[in-house]
Amino acid sequence: MPKIVNHDHQKQKVAEAAWRVILKQGMEQASVRNIADEAGLSVGSLRHYFATQSDLYAYSMNMVSERVAQRIQNIKFSGDVLHDGPLLVHEILPLDQETRLEMEVWFAFVVKSLSDLSLESLRKEVDRHMRVIFTSIVQGLIDQSLAKPDLNADFEAERFYALVDGLAMHAILRPELLPPDKIKALIRHHLYSLCISEVRGPDPS
């Protein structure tokens, strides 16, 4: 009888091995051979799951965004944008050890996507999702009559999105300067800064 192996499970294990190689040794060392070694497979077995290095990279990059998407799906939304907005944004940010590793892998793939067209479409698809999220938060403030008058929704979504990606990057690069509580306080402060003065958040410190 042939050995029964859960195909998807094996692919995830290989992708996790790819993450570990990238985190420990950098993208330049993430060859099919090194990833197979890390996964405890022969190169031949790995080829059974991923025909090309590009396939393996695309799957490994996608696994990051799938995990973020899964966490966002699990959020219990209240309908109050001042409550839901931060919950959404927190799932995008590296606020614990697990999500810090995910974000570090993500940045490595994002930089790689600049010279590897096979990763570009996934990167742009995730970017589109992010823009929808930030636009929906700002539009939520407007719809719930919380936003400052004349707020430009597209413009503010762009600013909020850039702030969050900048914080994500800084949290990876200088974790000692950006502990999770400080990041959350910055997000809250920014969200309240878009609101009319009657809506005042906690002190920014």
Positions in the binding site for a second copy (CB under 8 A): 22-28, 30, 104, 107-108, 110-112, 114-116, 123-124, 127, 152, 155, 158-159, 161-167, 169-170, 172-174, 177-178, 182, 185-186, 189-190, 193, 204-205
Taking the least distance from each CB to a second copy, the nearer of 7 and 124 is: 124
Nearer CB in complex with a second copy: 27/69 = 27
The DSSP H or E segment spanning 168 is: helix 153-173
Shortest separation between residue 6's beta carbon and a second copy, angstroms: 31
Distance CA(129)–CA(127), nearest Å, equals 5
d(CA 177, CA 186): 13
Q: How far is the CB of 202 from a second copy (least distance, A)?
A: 12
| CB of 81 or CB of 164, closer to a second copy | 164
CB 34 within 8 A of CB 86: no
Min CB(17)–a second copy separation in Å = 16
Q: Which is nearer to a second copy, 81 or 153 (CB)?
A: 153
- Least distance (Å) between residue 60 CB and a second copy: 15
Name the minimum Å distance from CB 176 to a second copy. Answer: 10
Q: Residue 10 or 116: which CB sits closer to a second copy?
A: 116
Q: Which two tokens stand for residue 9?
A: 């499970």
CA separation for the pair 194, 187 (Å, rounded) = 11
Q: What is the 3-state secondary structure (H, E, C) of 65-122?
A: HHHHHHHHHCCCCCCCHHHHHHHHHHHHCCCCHHHHHHHHHHHHHHHHHCCCHHHHHH
- Neighbour-count burial of 73, counting CB atoms closer than 10 A to its CB (0-12 exposed, 13-18 middle, 19+ buried): exposed
